[in-house]
Amino acid sequence: MKLIRQIANDKLVTISFVFLIVLFTSTIFANILAPYDPNKQDIMNKLASPSWNHWLGTDQLGRDIFSRLLYGGRVTILLSFVIILLILIAGFIFGSLAGMAGGSIDAIIMRTCDWLLSLPSEMISLCIIGILGPSMLTIVLALTIVRWPWYIKMIRSEVMKEKGKNYVLFSLSSGKNKYWVFKKHMLRSLIYSLIIYSTLDMSAVVMSISALSFLGIGIQPPTAEWGRMLNDAREVAVVEPWQMIPAGAIIFIVVAMLNYIGDALIETMQEKN
């Protein structure tokens, strides 16, 4: 609660948090809030400028851009949450296991992480998507595989740091088992660390999903997605450059706000320590 109060004192963090909550809620209820079907085409009304009927105008197929932003955010944000959740689970389990168990278990897990991290993450993602084909499942699989080694190493580092503290050494020397020590002395610190890591990485995942869709190997048409919308707008960018503004602006704002909240969490935790 003290951590939440400290963060709430930063007005920009509060504004960012409220905006993201409103945005995420709006995407969840996109079927209620969106004025039009995101895939409904109206060729006679294509590339229409913003108006009362179409707040952000229409794209080259006459589809309402505002409606597509809401539905596209649902896809981008949902996939980001799923990817982050899978990464957190893998990082917590294997990172904690490596740090607490040590020995050969630690060596096997760390060498596996080192091997994966030695390869370019973009190359791994492109290979997985290229082999399995572009879909939501392959995007989740590809981005999870390239990111979970970082979390494992970070969590292991946190565990190793905590294991060296006097109160942990005293608990272990007094006969307490490792599970009790982990739960009593390390779990809360690891949860805070995971919150910070996931907040910062959420923005990177949003960018990765949008980038893959922009390149044409992510979310496929006609499904609305922010990166996919940028790809569609690129085709008419010469004659109607404003088409790239809505999707580009929302990606920029979401990433910037997530990064700012993550930085504020780090500063608050450093002051606490």
CB atoms within 10 A of CB 204: 16
- 205 within 8 A of 227, measured Cβ to Cβ: no
Nearest CA to 80 out of 251, 243, 244 is that of 251
Distances (CA, A) of 141 to 19, 105, 124, 158, 208: 29, 24, 11, 26, 13
pLDDT at 160: 83
Nearest CA to 112 out of 139, 85, 145 is that of 145
Confidence of residue 269 (pLDDT cuts 50, 70, 90): low
Buried (b) or exposed (e) across 18-36, using 16+ Cβ within 10 A?
Answer: eebeebeebbeebeeebeb
pTM here is 0.87
Confidence of residue 30 (pLDDT cuts 50, 70, 90): very high
Angle between helical axes of 136-163 and 103-117 (0-180°, round to 10)? 130
Tens-digit pLDDT profile for residues 154-195: 888 888 887 777 777 767 677 676 776 777 777 777 887 787
pLDDT at 205: 92
Confidence of residue 4 (pLDDT cuts 50, 70, 90): low
Q: What angle do CA 225, 231, 236 make, to 5 degrees?
A: 130
Q: What angle do CA 88, 92, 98 make, to 5 degrees?
A: 145
Above 60 in pLDDT, residue 1? Answer: no
The ranges assigned to domains in the chain are 2-272
Tens-digit pLDDT profile for residues 186-228: 777 788 778 777 887 888 899 999 999 998 888 888 889 999 9
What proportion of the chain, given as a percentage, has pLDDT over 90?
37
* DSSP 3-state of 119: coil
Above 90 in pLDDT, residue 265? Answer: no
Distance CA 52, CA 40 (A): 18
pLDDT at 142: 92
Longest CA pairwise span in the chain (Å)? 79
Pull the structure tokens for residue 260.
């700012």
Distance CA 223, CA 138 (A): 16
pLDDT at 192: 77
Half-sphere exposure of 240 (CA within 13 A, CB side): 18
Does the structural domain 2-272 have CATH classification 1.10.8.60?
A: no
Lowest-confidence pick of 52-61, 90-99, 195-204, 224-233: 195-204
Pull the structure tokens for residue 52.
């009362």
Match 């709006």 to its residue by tokens. 26
Distances (CA, A) of 219 to 97, 144, 145, 230: 35, 16, 18, 12
Pull the structure tokens for residue 25.
């809620």
Tens-digit pLDDT profile for residues 142-154: 999 988 888 889 8
